[in-house]
């Protein structure tokens, strides 16, 4: 069997574990979906299934791992007067870095931007505008309660009385039709009062207030691998392998967009039945191969003292299909192992021309 082998290095890399938040942990090697996605992106593919499907073997190593600190920023769903950072957005329809700080709360709670309680003021004019908007909101609430709602209630009551008069009338009579017109006028008046109030409130309060938001910050961590070496073996149809070879210069990163790759080698190699071979790299191995003892510990091999290979078990995404507008992932159970070997009794595991162990997933 002929496959494509790619050797590459990365100065740094982070292969995000999906379920981690506060401490964004990394996989020790890129998941299958990450590699497949990077290759498809390099080739400009917009379709994968039934055309460019791949089986991949992933192995590699890294020199060190460090935990980096970063500041996580999050906009709250509503403006909180007593906590966080009050900011003014340049565009309220876009949550981006386009904002400037108005004031900062000094304590976790018990502050007030409106009352100036335990806050650090950064932009006094914007803070005054914010307070004026809160005052307008209160005035609009009072107007609605004391003026708009009573008017609507009065019109509703008039409408009910007219409908009561219509109850015993002939629907084709002049009196019934005249009362019907009166009801329509009452409806139009209610609509006019409601829409005028809503428009005035939106212009004077709603739109200006939408520029303000509450921002919270917190210290988070993410793990970064340094000095990464990867060896990838790709099995696919001839067209796909040719596309990868011809577009390998467009393979910019694996992992984050800033995790640049340097391709050391890309070549076709043949896979052979394994002989006694030790791996110098860690790898993702199909969990079934470990259960069948097709992978051995270097120290003991296939002897009476043999110890089953152990590692870290992962359920990795490989690819997905769109079902009902949702991504349904095809997942693979693998074990991340180091210090392992294979021999001539190993099944479904191969060795390439240069002695690299290959387990296609």
- Phi, psi angle pair for 287, to nearest 5°: -60, -30
Strands (E) across 62-108 are located at 64-75, 85-89, 99-105
CB atoms within 10 A of CB 160: 10
Considering all CA atoms of the chain, what is the largest pairwise distance in Å, rounded to the nearest integer? 107
Average pLDDT over residues 20-26: 88
CB-based contact 325:275 (threshold 8 Å): no
pLDDT score for 305: 52
* In a shared domain, residues 21 and 42: yes
CA distance linking residue 273 with residue 347, whole number of Å: 8
**Can you name the residues that pair with 314 across neighbouring β-strands?**
334
Number of H helices, E strands in the chain: 7, 17
pLDDT band at 169; cut points 50, 70, 90: confident
Q: How does pLDDT run across 43-68, given as a tens digit for each residue?
A: 999 888 888 999 999 999 999 999 99
Do 111 and 117 contact (CB within 8 A), yes or no? yes
Looking at the structure, tell me whether residues 85 and 199 fall in a common domain: yes
Q: Is the pLDDT of residue 95 over 80?
A: no
**Distance in angstroms (rounded) separating the CA atoms of residues 113 and 302:** 71
**118 phi-psi bin (left φ>0, alpha ψ -120 to 50, beta other):** left
Residue 47 shares a structural domain with residue 100: no
Most confident of 146-150, 306-310, 345-349: 146-150
First CA to last CA across the chain, in angstroms?
15
The predicted pLDDT at position 306 comes to: 53
Closest alpha carbon to 38 in 278, 330, 234, 323:
234
Of the segments 178-182, 241-245, 276-280, 319-323, which one has the largest average pLDDT value? 241-245
CB 57 within 8 A of CB 233: yes
DSSP letter (8 states) at residue 37: H
Do residues 186 and 251 both lie within one domain?
no
What pLDDT is attached to residue 304?
45
Q: 346 and 232 in one domain?
A: yes
Alpha helices in 167-308 (DSSP H): 174-201, 207-209, 238-246, 287-291
202 and 240 together in one domain: no
What is the mean predicted confidence (pLDDT) over 284-298?
Answer: 85
189 and 227 housed in the same domain: no
Strand pairing class (340-342; 296-297)? antiparallel
> Residue 322: pLDDT above 90?
no
Q: What is d(CA 127, CA 114) in angstroms, rounded to the nearest whole number?
A: 8
Indicate whether 73 belongs to any domain: no
- 346, 344, 338: which is closest to 288 by C-alpha? 346
The domain boundary residue, chosen from 184, 216, 248: 216
Considering the domain architecture, whether residues 50 and 147 belong to the same structural domain is answered as no
Could you tell me if 89 and 144 lie in one domain? yes
Quote the mean pLDDT of the chain: 91
Which bin fits 151, alpha (ψ -120 to 50), beta or left (φ > 0)? alpha
State the DSSP code for 248. Answer: G
Percent share of the chain, pLDDT over 70: 96
- Beta-bridge mates of residue 330: 319
Question: Residues 14-25: what's their mean pLDDT?
Answer: 90
Domain with residue 46: its CATH number is 3.30.70.3120
**For the chain, what is the domain count?**
2
Average pLDDT over residues 269-279: 92
Same-domain pairing of 276 and 313: yes
Radius of gyration of the chain (CA): 33
Q: What is the pLDDT of residue 98?
A: 84
Structure tokens at 287: 């969990």
Q: Which of 216, 251, 286 is the last residue of a domain?
A: 216
Q: What angle do CA 52, 57, 62 make, to 5 degrees?
A: 125
Q: Please report whether residue 354 resides in a domain.
A: yes
The answer, yes or no, to whether residue 298 has pLDDT greater than 80, is no
Which of 26-30, 45-49, 70-74, 344-348 has the highest average model confidence (pLDDT)?
26-30
**Distance (Å, rounded) from C-alpha 30 to C-alpha 35?**
7
Whether 322 is in a domain gets the answer yes
Residue at which a domain ends, from 150, 185, 216: 216
Judge whether 207 lies within some domain: yes
In this structure, the answer to whether residues 146 and 102 fall within a common structural domain is yes
Domain that holds residue 273: 2-68+222-358
Does one domain contain both 229 and 211? no
- Banded model confidence at residue 170, pLDDT cuts 50, 70, 90: confident
Q: Where are the alpha helices (DSSP H) in the chain?
A: 32-43, 124-143, 149-166, 174-201, 207-209, 238-246, 287-291
| Mean pLDDT, residues 182-211 taken together | 94
The predicted structure's pLDDT at residue 324: 87
Q: Does residue 261 have a pLDDT over 60?
A: yes
3-class secondary structure, 356: coil
The pLDDT of residue 359 is 96
Q: What is the pLDDT of residue 74?
A: 87
Percent of the chain scoring above 90 in pLDDT = 71
Residue 342 · residue 295 · CB < 8 Å: yes
Residue 10 lies in a domain: yes
DSSP state, 113? Answer: T
pLDDT at 201 > cutoff 60: yes
């Amino acid at each position: 069997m002929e496959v494509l082998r790619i050797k590459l290095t990365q100065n740094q890399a982070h292969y995000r574990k999906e379920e981690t938040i506060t401490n964004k942990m990394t996989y020790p090697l890129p998941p299958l979906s990450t590699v497949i996605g990077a290759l498809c992106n390099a080739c400009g593919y917009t379709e994968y299934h039934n055309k460019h499907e791949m089986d991949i073997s992933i192995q590699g190593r890294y020199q060190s791992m460090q935990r980096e600190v970063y500041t996580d920023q999050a906009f709250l769903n509503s403006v909180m007067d007593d906590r966080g950072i009050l900011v003014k957005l340049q565009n309220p329809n876009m949550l981006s870095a386009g904002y400037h700080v108005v004031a900062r709360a000094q304590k976790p709670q018990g502050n007030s931007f409106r009352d100036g309680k335990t806050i650090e003021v950064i932009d006094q004019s914007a803070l005054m505008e914010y307070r004026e908007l809160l005052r307008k909101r209160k005035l609009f609430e009072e107007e609605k309660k004391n003026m708009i709602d009573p008017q609507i209630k009065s019109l509703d009551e008039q409408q009910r009385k007219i409908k009561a008069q219509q109850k015993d009338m002939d629907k084709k009579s002049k009196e019934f039709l005249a009362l019907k017109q009166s009801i329509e006028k009452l409806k139009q008046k209610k609509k006019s009062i409601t829409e005028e109030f809503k428009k005035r409130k939106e212009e004077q309060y709603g739109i200006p207030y939408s520029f303000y938001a509450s921002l919270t910050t917190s210290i988070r961590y993410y793990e970064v691998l340094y000095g990464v070496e990867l060896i990838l073996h790709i099995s696919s149809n001839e067209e796909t392998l040719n596309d990868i070879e011809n577009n390998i210069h467009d393979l910019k990163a694996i992992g984050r967009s800033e995790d640049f790759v340097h391709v050391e080698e890309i070549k076709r190699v043949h896979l052979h039945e394994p002989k006694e071979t030790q791996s110098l790299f860690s790898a993702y191995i199909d969990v079934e191969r470990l259960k069948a003892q097709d992978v051995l510990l270097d120290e003991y091999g296939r002897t009476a003292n043999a110890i089953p290979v152990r590692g870290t078990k992962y359920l990795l995404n490989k690819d997905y299909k769109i079902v009902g507008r949702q991504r349904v992932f095809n997942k693979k159970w693998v074990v991340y192992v180091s210090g392992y070997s294979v021999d001539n009794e190993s099944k479904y595991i191969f060795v390439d021309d240069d002695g690299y162990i290959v387990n296609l997933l």
